[in-house]
Amino acid sequence: MLAAYDNPSTEAFYRNLFRVFNRELGTNFHNDAYTCTVTWQLSPGGEEGLIESYFTPSSPQHIVIPPIDGQQEGVEVEIGAGEGIKVGNSVKFTRQGLETLLHRADMALCGWFTDSKGYYALALAKKL
């Protein structure tokens, strides 16, 4: 699972966020000052897993976000060396784990469609 998110393509996708923020909002992120880190954690029961993606600077960063949409003031943020900025979360569920969550929400699984290897699934649920 980790290899699906910890790769150059996904890192480039997330790095592009800084370029877009700089271009569209006038921020001053220094894209090359950050290292991408991706973690994978499986829940104790194995019914779900969590991918988290962070960008962590190697030196302190002072980020300036100019006023947006008529605001009087912008925002300034200090990011310490080694302090991660979470840029992505992706939760993965087993069928059993999803059925448990749906039950808690007063819903039921009424369809489960997978690829030929069972790597991916599309779930169809309904309110009880």
Contact between 11 and 24 under an 8 Å Cβ cutoff? The reply is no
- Assess contact for 98 and 114: CB atoms under 8 A: no
34: domain range? Answer: 2-93
- The CA distance from 35 to 89, in Å, is 17
- Local confidence band at 13 (pLDDT 50, 70, 90 cut-offs): very high
Asked if 89 and 99 sit in the same domain, the reply is: no
Q: Based on the domain organization, do 52 and 102 belong to the same domain?
A: no
Over the stretch 16-44, which tens digit does the pLDDT of each residue have? 999 999 999 999 999 899 999 999 988 87
The pLDDT assigned to 92 comes to 87
At 73-105, the pLDDT tens digits run: 999 999 999 999 999 998 888 898 899 999 999
pTM of the model: 0.72
Domain count, the chain: 2
Indicate whether 14 and 45 sit together in one domain. Answer: yes
58 — pLDDT class (breaks 50, 70, 90)? very high
Question: Which residues 6+ apart lie within 8 Å of 32 measured at CB?
Answer: none
